[in-house]
Amino acid sequence: MENLKSIQPPFENRIEHLREIVRNFETGQVFLTALELDVFSLLRTPRRGKDVAEKLGTRIDPTLKFLDILSGMHLLTKKEDHYCMPSEVAPFLDKRSPYYARYLQLNADDYSALLEMKDRLHTGPENPPEPKSHQFDRDAIDWMARTSLLGRLQATIGHVTNLSEFFHARRGIDLGCGHGLFGIALAQENPHLQVILFDKPEITPIAQTYIDRYGLKERVQVMSGDYTIDDIGADYDMVFEACSFAGSNSGHRSFFQKIASVLVDGGLFIRLTYTLDDDRKGPLEPLIWELKNLLSGKNRCFARTNAETYQLLSESGLQGEKIIDMSPWCFNPMRLVISRKK
């Protein structure tokens, strides 16, 4: 008889990989429920589990198991029967914190679309929402500024300043600038660079406060409008844009053509954005965004493959040169696309 200990497995056991996929869904649901119940704000200071249940109006036994799971996920600490939010996650989960991860509770309807995925794959979205644009107030812009300084801005500027022609640039523009810190940082690194921070009229006064804070009003100015339709100037050595433009292929082509028209020959166009691998197997996050948008009826286009991006750039008079993975410095898989006017 065959020796059982010597039997070679017919294939690698992938069950654990499949179990991990399910666990990610389960733990994600626990976390989102904790956000919805505002558990973390409740546990800024230690509380007994049964007191948490009483405060939430939930049943004690499942609430204790719920809190234990959050502790196992290192989102709470547990000492005897008391639970508390740990200091290392408090900056992102405490609503009073300037670094509170406010984006986690956005687009709750997208999560509903995923929970109803089986039905929506058959029927499509129910009552598609009216198209709407993002509205950014001072708090949102300031939050974006703070989170950009958790590594994304520094890494982006590092890659840009490694380009040999960067220090020869004299005119640049940051489109959809928001807080304007990317354009300000570029001006700091190149003392001969004049930078325009371009955004909507309700945003540029906020960007102006950042210019004043960093003492660069002599070389950094604001310009207001809609950069897809309004005049944005000309003869730029560099155009920078970070995650402010989304649209169809034709929309991207028009946008890229406009960029080419305002750049000098050989001028740089630098985008911090999302792209997909050419086989469309990843990164998973933008793929999931696209599915959520379709299932919820928003039909927004977030990402194209690297090859599609290069093709659209080429059709618009720009030459794509490199795409840099920025995920080590970002909380999602952004990429830096470097191109120049042909």
pLDDT in tens, 139-193: 889 989 998 998 999 999 999 999 989 999 999 999 999 999 999 999 999 999 9
Is the pTM higher than 0.85? no
Euclidean distance between CA atoms 329 and 29, whole angstroms: 26
Residue ranges in 297-326 assigned as alpha helix (H): 306-315
Where do the CATH 1.10.10.10 domains begin and end in the chain?
A: 15-106
pLDDT higher than 70, residue 106:
no
Average pLDDT of the residues in 267-274: 96
Q: Which fold has domain 15-106?
A: Arc Repressor Mutant, subunit A (1.10.10)
User: Residue 5: pLDDT band by 50, 70, 90 thresholds?
Assistant: low
Write the CA distances from 142 to 15, 108, 215, integer angstroms.
Answer: 44, 23, 18
Q: Supply 264's token pair.
A: 């000098």
Closest CA to 140 of 104, 175, 179: 179
Task: Give the number of other Cβ atoms within 10 Å of residue 187's Cβ.
Answer: 23
Average pLDDT of the residues in 312-336: 93
Where do the CATH 3.40.50.150 domains begin and end in the chain?
A: 138-341
Structurally, at CATH architecture level, domain 138-341 sits in: 3-Layer(aba) Sandwich (3.40)
Confidence (pLDDT) at 330: 84
Closest CA to 284 of 302, 271, 297: 302
Dump strand ranges (E) for the chain.
47-48, 77-79, 82-84, 171-175, 194-199, 220-224, 236-242, 263-273, 275-276, 304-305, 318-325, 335-341
What's the whole-number average pLDDT of the chain? Answer: 89
